[in-house]
A and B are shown apart, each in its own frame.
Chain A
Amino acid sequence: MAKKSSEKAEKSEKTEKLINKNDIRVDGRKLNDLRPVKLEVGILANADGSAYIEQGKNKILAGVYGPKELHPKHLALPDRALLHCRYHMAPFSVQERKSPAPSRREIELSKVIRESLEPSIFTEYYPRTSIDLFIEVLQADGGTRCAGITIASLALADAGIPMRDLVSACAAGKVEGHLVLDLTDTEDKAGEADLPVAFMPNFNAITLLQMDGKLTSEEFEQAVGMAVEGCKQIYTHQKEALKAKYLVKEEAVEE
């Protein structure tokens, strides 16, 4: 019992200050550091394409089915495929159990995620079909929509769907007066602003931009720039992850 209360005291001490005087964050990162990112491509057997990310404590899965026949048929688009996206959080992914029914937040995020990925896909190659994209957040710790977009784009590539570019996503924000990259849940909740961005690196195109909080025009400008730089770092991770799937392991060749 005594141990528990001391733990709690330590915790509250920590949450008071998220960034120390040397500009180091609670988890030891510098202001413009990403959390450690682990990406895997093609990990689900049934899905046409899939990917998994661990970014800090975030653990998220994405799966793609399609292009395939669309049901109900009246939704079919005559000139392109319909991209259907579902962002969903597992009931156990957050501190207090989340009801599995889709919340208003999840419905909005499904929409903005879909719109962030659609510019990257040659949907016009597959008229009248649907491409179904499922993002399941298994554990959430801030920045799940960005991590979700990052792996959704990989899963689409893994499914062999023709794409103009990968979409990489990363958030910037403001915590205790400092602009920071890739906020954790605690930083997001205690911080002053959160600004998720999705980006197509080879087009310099921003395909998702949201913000809530409070920023001056100058800070807004800097934060957008910072998030874009974060997206570029994510992009290198994505390329590595895609290549890693097709890399032949040396011991496999040994006789």
Chain B
Amino acid sequence: MNIPAMVVRVKQKRIAELISHGKRLDERGLNDYRKIQLEVGVIERAEGSARIRLGKTEVLVGVKIETGEPFPDVPNEGVLTVNAELVPLASPTFEAGPPGENSIELARIVDRGIRESKAIALEKLCITPHKKVFIVFVDVYVLNHDGNLIDASAMAALAALLNTKMFNYEMKGDEIQIKPGYTQLPVVNYPIAVTFAKINDKIIVDPWLEEEQVMDARFTITMEKDGKVCAVQKGGYGYFFKEQILEAAKIAKEKSEELRKILVKS
């Protein structure tokens, strides 16, 4: 994240020093997540929604479902669209305006996890091939930025999808008629993103904002429910060694299972 340094140098140094001794300023272990609170169904107007608190980071995800045309290369599948808004009230560094590269990258990482793991059975969202399908809009709304927006957004997005109800319909000629009652959106996989930061050549999980400002680089692995890797993204100006990445992949496997349990519970 390209945020001007707001952490004073002394504190930056302290954060880095502690980490090289295996400790963190907020007393977490290097591989510990902050406390996660997840609520679903918080917005009644949306077909699905979820609000996550990861420490002080807060993200709200709303899912809206509309009908529209499919992509010509996959005429029998519904369409998934992920968008992220870094709302100005979430951080003094966010500005209103068209999406910048940070929000686009965030949206695309979340999108890649859901798409590549085939979390939504898009083939079940077809109404009339080539003509009409359901479009699933996932809107990620960052409400408070305190680091690791990627994991928070990915998890909230999945929780919102699991919470999503689609209206029942029947076809009268070319017209869609809405019938009473709802069916669950077919979610068949649970991709979980685990983000690492590299500070002083150590790898830590779930960096908070001040750690993000000290880190050399970050690295996200998205894991499916069967432990397969479905998406990866490196970010930041630094670099990683191959060994660090492979070690991170092992930690990600454990951590993603841990997070998935929290998700399934809520």
* A207 contacts B239, C-beta separation under 8 Å: yes
**Shortest Cβ-Cβ A-B pairs, 8 listed:** A211-B232, A205-B239, A209-B234, A118-B237, A207-B239, A111-B101, A220-B229, A212-B116
Stretch binding the partner chain, chosen from B44-52, B119-127, B165-173, B245-253? B245-253
Q: Can you show 21 pairs from A to B with CB atoms below 8 A apart? A: A104-B104, A107-B101, A108-B108, A112-B105, A115-B235, A115-B236, A119-B238, A195-B232, A204-B241, A205-B239, A206-B241, A207-B239, A209-B219, A210-B232, A211-B230, A212-B231, A214-B230, A217-B228, A217-B249, A217-B253, A221-B249
Inter-chain CA distance A204–B239, complex, in Å, is 9
Cβ–Cβ < 8 Å partners of B232 in chain A: 195, 209-212, 220
Cβ–Cβ < 8 Å partners of B228 in chain A: 214-217
Asked whether A110 is an interface residue with its Cβ less than 8 Å from the other chain, the reply is: yes
Cβ–Cβ < 8 Å partners of B105 in chain A: 108, 111-112
- Nearest residue (CB) in B for A116 is B234
Cβ–Cβ < 8 Å partners of B219 in chain A: 209
Inter-chain CA distance A228–B246, complex, in Å, is 13
Cβ–Cβ < 8 Å partners of B246 in chain A: 221, 224
Asked whether A200 is an interface residue with its Cβ less than 8 Å from the other chain, the reply is: yes
CB distance from B224 to the nearest CB of A (A): 7
Residues of A94-110 at the interface with B, using a CB-CB cut-off of 8 Å, are 104-105, 107-108, 110
CB distance from B78 to the nearest CB of A (A): 19
* A212 contacts B112, C-beta separation under 8 Å: yes
Asked whether A62 is an interface residue with its Cβ less than 8 Å from the other chain, the reply is: no
* B101 contacts A108, C-beta separation under 8 Å: yes
* B245 contacts A216, C-beta separation under 8 Å: no
Q: Knowing A210-B232, A211-B231, A213-B230, say if A119 contacts B253 (CB, 8 Å).
A: no
* B239 contacts A119, C-beta separation under 8 Å: yes
Inter-chain CA distance A115–B116, complex, in Å, is 24
* B101 contacts A209, C-beta separation under 8 Å: no
CB distance from A113 to the nearest CB of B (A): 11
Cβ–Cβ < 8 Å partners of B195 in chain A: none
Tier of interface size on chain A: 20 to 34
Asked whether A246 is an interface residue with its Cβ less than 8 Å from the other chain, the reply is: no
Chain B residues within CB distance 8 Å of chain A: 99, 101, 104-105, 107-108, 112, 115-117, 217, 219, 224, 227-242, 245-246, 249-250, 253
Asked whether A156 is an interface residue with its Cβ less than 8 Å from the other chain, the reply is: no
Apart from A112-B105, A217-B229, A224-B246, list 5 A-B contacts with CB within 8 A.
A111-B235, A209-B232, A210-B234, A211-B232, A214-B224
Inter-chain CA distance A209–B101, complex, in Å, is 18
CB distance from B175 to the nearest CB of A (A): 31
Inter-chain CA distance A216–B229, complex, in Å, is 6
- Nearest residue (CB) in A for B243 is A204
Inter-chain CA distance A105–B235, complex, in Å, is 15
* B104 contacts A108, C-beta separation under 8 Å: yes
Most buried by B among A212, A216, A220, A225: A212
* A115 contacts B237, C-beta separation under 8 Å: yes
Q: Knowing A211-B229, A217-B229, A220-B249, say if A206 contacts B234 (CB, 8 Å).
A: yes
Q: Knowing A206-B240, A221-B249, say if A216 contacts B101 (CB, 8 Å).
A: no
User: What does the 1/0 interface line of A188-232 toward B look like (CB < 8 Å)?
Assistant: 000000010000100111111111111111001100110010000
Q: Which of A119, A216, A224 contacts B242 (CB 8 A)?
A: A224
- Nearest residue (CB) in A for B230 is A214
* A214 contacts B234, C-beta separation under 8 Å: no
Inter-chain CA distance A204–B241, complex, in Å, is 6
Cβ–Cβ < 8 Å partners of B245 in chain A: 206, 209, 224
* A214 contacts B116, C-beta separation under 8 Å: yes
Cβ–Cβ < 8 Å partners of B230 in chain A: 211-215
Inter-chain CA distance A225–B104, complex, in Å, is 29
Inter-chain CA distance A112–B231, complex, in Å, is 15
* A115 contacts B249, C-beta separation under 8 Å: no
Inter-chain CA distance A108–B238, complex, in Å, is 17
Inter-chain CA distance A220–B245, complex, in Å, is 10
CB distance from A121 to the nearest CB of B (A): 10
